[in-house]
Structure 1
């Protein structure tokens, strides 16, 4: 039985993964064994952690408590540092990894992550809780059933106010493409299949005299191989949270609302005017499914490579979108590394 090791105790590690791990073990007591070990060298900046979590200041100290053959590592560090963290974990001997989205920032890092996986025989699962959700399963069944005819279009809105984190110089997310949008992109690729970028737009975040290039809003337009069109919009300056997906068919529509935050795990689905509300803790479900895979699916199984290819393709699409945005994506990458003016 495996034991969790969380790297990074920010919003993702402490606020989401720890909570989801507790929920997962409530549902399935044998899902993993404890205590949870965590690595975070920033005691003054980490989010609060509950009792029962052993926090260490370095990977070396964590390895002494939890060796690689017993660990599932949750990589919850910002995208800008992701590659360096993965390389350090590989050097320390860890091979079973759950990595927060996005998998990488840019084509170079995407190739480097793929090389690490191949060289070290990693079993790497990218966090994909929306595709693992009950709501996504309902949408998948609806598409396959042909009940409303052929799927024509998908529209996704993923908005939330994110001023405080975006204004931090060390936020680690180069653009709005790297914050919320990877979750909805992974969802639509899993529902509809491969796609190509047809349009993209970024706006800057502006608060008074402060400007963060590319961290305002993002638009991504896709054409899938089967002809379906997708439009994803993510506004990080929105006054309210929204996580909505709308499917337009030949003879009807379906609209799903994912839980707006971890404060409530209820979702909504409106199919042809009939609305249903049900519980759907997607991250806990994803972790249960992934821990089961680590327990029974060997590294050479092709499903690991298939998963990596899907998320690598998502990185490719985002990279293409950045190149389409005024042709100077480099300024967004550089802005993530400098102090705000």
Structure 2
């Protein structure tokens, strides 16, 4: 029964976590996170039409549709593949932005697209009215934002430790702190290792991992506190008592994890329909659920069993010392009583002499 919380199991769990953390850190250091569309660098071709609002698309030649088709065909002829398109109004007219992939010659493709537009049969398409430009967009890491998030996470971990230590025991508070840091770092390492697309929303996944780690560990610790106060289990060895409590709380942990996993899967399906970024976030959240479940049922109990075992040993040693001191004190008191009685008996004999 207590094999799940044995020292060997603790060593195995720590070894597995350490390997994943190291590999994930190496992957992150070399390649970084696999950026999603909100964080990835991209190339764009921007076309500005100053007369777009004055082009009547009710005409037979339907200039607006013809221009849009012309833009895309000219871009594809230049060697690009259009992956996304957006249009917006500005003081300069209508601006079309085409996100593209491909690596044609940067010195010639803008001129080729401009020439194709100029040579079209559509009216008012010369380069004084329609202009073409190329942009390489590189996202900048939000270091200040990341540091603020890290500070907020550190404060949350400290508050978690204080709450668990006060409500339960200091040993459980230490275990909850270790588990929270472990779960967040391991989740990020798995996301980096599996190359799941990640952007700014990864901060939310880290916060979700921290919160879920706290919830699952509180479920297990609550069961332990109840069991350790019962007459049946309060005198059990530390590892055996912890193992029984983990077994009894496993059902509640699985229920929470399954419900959250179903929610993530549903949102992931929605993400496939409306945009893959949501799906990638849900995949990262699923990794957080798996890591937190593993931590609360295997790693945390093994850590706390070691802490409780040492605590119980010190308490027993202290009780033994107190018992020995009490026995010694009682013995000294009895000896003092005997000596006092002996003195009292001798006193009358001395007086008669």
TM interval, shorter chain, is under 0.3
- Could you tell me the TM-score, scaled by structure 2's length? 0.21
| Greater per-residue strand proportion | 1
- Could you tell me the TM-score, scaled by structure 1's length? 0.21
CA radius of gyration, larger in: 2
| Greater per-residue helix proportion | 2
